[in-house]
Amino acid sequence: MRTASGEQAVDVAIVGGGIVGIASAFRLAALGLAVALIERDEPANAASRGNAGAFAFPAILPLASPGILFKAPKWLVDPLGPLAIPPAEFPAVLPWLLRFFRASLPDRVEASTAALAALNGLTEQETAGLTREAGIAGFVRHDGALELYESEAEWRASLPAWERCERMGIEVEHVGGERLAELQPGLSPRLVKAVFLPQWQTVSDPRDYALALLKAAEARGVRVMRKNAARLAPHADGVTVVLEDGGELDAGHAVVAAGPWSKALAATLGDRLPVTPERGYNTTLPPGAFDLKRQLTFPSHGFVVTPLDTGIRVGGASELARFDAPANFKRSRHMLDKAARFLPGLKREGGVEWMGSRPSMPDSLPVIGHAPASRRVIYAFGHGHLGLTQSAGTARLVSELVLGQNPSIDITPFRPDRF
């Protein structure tokens, strides 16, 4: 069967060539389905290119939380703080922000934490299997991560959250003194306590990892199409993906995994989903800029430092702004200044700056499930800071939804119509 434009029909058309779309394509093709991956740009060229490179399986506490209600006002008045909204963007962002604050109420946080724990637990298992099956396990490092604190009081304030994580099965080791120096030499003495998370993993480079997985997917027959999907047209036998150039592709199912660009595509089906671009900034310094043993996170400052094969990446922060808003690279330089204070031996020369948009939902949970308009359309986007982390687990759930199987975990918390 061929489409009106002459393209060969497929079992599944995936819109979005980031890590979630690529992982889903690999998983579906490994099950013997004919898959097309439709990407408006180069695959793995947005958030999958410049992210922090972490499989943050222990990250089960939502960003929307009671603590954020006290921190956010202070952050928002600091244009270089961990969370920023440019004044011109505030009217458009306000509805999302109100939902974010509602999601920070205690009862909702408990439900979100349980949902994230289930998804991250599934994805930890799936990542091991996917990387082994795709032959890319060598890209993954099992070094753990350190979350660092500047005072005993700051560390003690974090203990209730870590106790909640431990109740959910997360391995946590509180460290200081010689043990901290052993895990990461060369830290500033102002860093007095840390939490070591042995389940945390990183990749040698996030884009290299994504492209290696894409190569494995193509070897299983996945066809990559450099096209822009304009709208979806479900019908009795499947879905027609209408392309911006006038072409069409018929598929048994369509998966929307286009990150923050998914919002416009979902709107063509009548779904108004509150996914917003959350921009992050980073600087990648040359290899050898610091003898970094594992990823370091600085929760009070909203950034991380990651060892990659391509260098030392210093980045993070959150800026709620539309795609075409002017970039503010003062944010990346500000994080680099802070990193140099915490890592006195850091060589700051030769860095490359980057900015990209994450797809963020107000409750810190992704959208995974059938579109309300058609069970032939499956949504898989809105992972925020955890796209790489949750990619393999999301791919498993997507494959189960395509095949009509019961999902491996309860996906009710991720349903598209929850707002």
CATH H-level superfamily of 59-105+140-201+275-359 = D-Amino Acid Oxidase, subunit A, domain 2 (3.30.9.10)
Q: Which of 147, 127, 146, 145 lies closest to 137, judged by CA?
A: 127
Q: What is the pLDDT of residues 306-338, one digit of tens each?
A: 999 999 999 998 899 988 889 999 999 999 999
Does pLDDT of 6 surpass 70? no
Domain 10-48+208-274+364-418 = CATH 1.20.1090.10? no
CA gap 213, 139 in Å, rounded? 10
CA gap 18, 307 in Å, rounded? 22
Q: Which two tokens stand for residue 305?
A: 């430092």
As a whole-number percent, the residues of the chain with pLDDT over 90 amount to: 87
Q: What pLDDT sits at residue 132? A: 98
Distant-in-sequence, close-in-space partners of 240: CB < 8 Å, separation ≥ 6? 3, 232, 233, 234, 248, 249, 250, 251
212: left (phi over 0), alpha (psi -120 to 50) or beta: alpha
Q: Count other C-beta atoms under 10 Å from residue 129's C-beta.
A: 13
> Model pTM?
0.95
Average pLDDT over residues 17-37: 98
Does pLDDT of 409 surpass 50? yes
As a whole-number percent, the residues of the chain with pLDDT over 70 amount to: 97
The pLDDT confidence band at residue 69, using thresholds 50, 70 and 90, is: low
CA gap 78, 115 in Å, rounded? 32
From-to residues of CATH 3.50.50.60 in the chain: 10-48+208-274+364-418
From-to residues of CATH 3.30.9.10 in the chain: 59-105+140-201+275-359
Does pLDDT of 8 surpass 60? no
| The residue type at 206 | P
Average pLDDT over residues 230-238: 95
β-partners of residue 261 are none
Distances (CA, A) of 380 to 292, 297, 385: 34, 27, 14
The pLDDT confidence band at residue 2, using thresholds 50, 70 and 90, is: very low
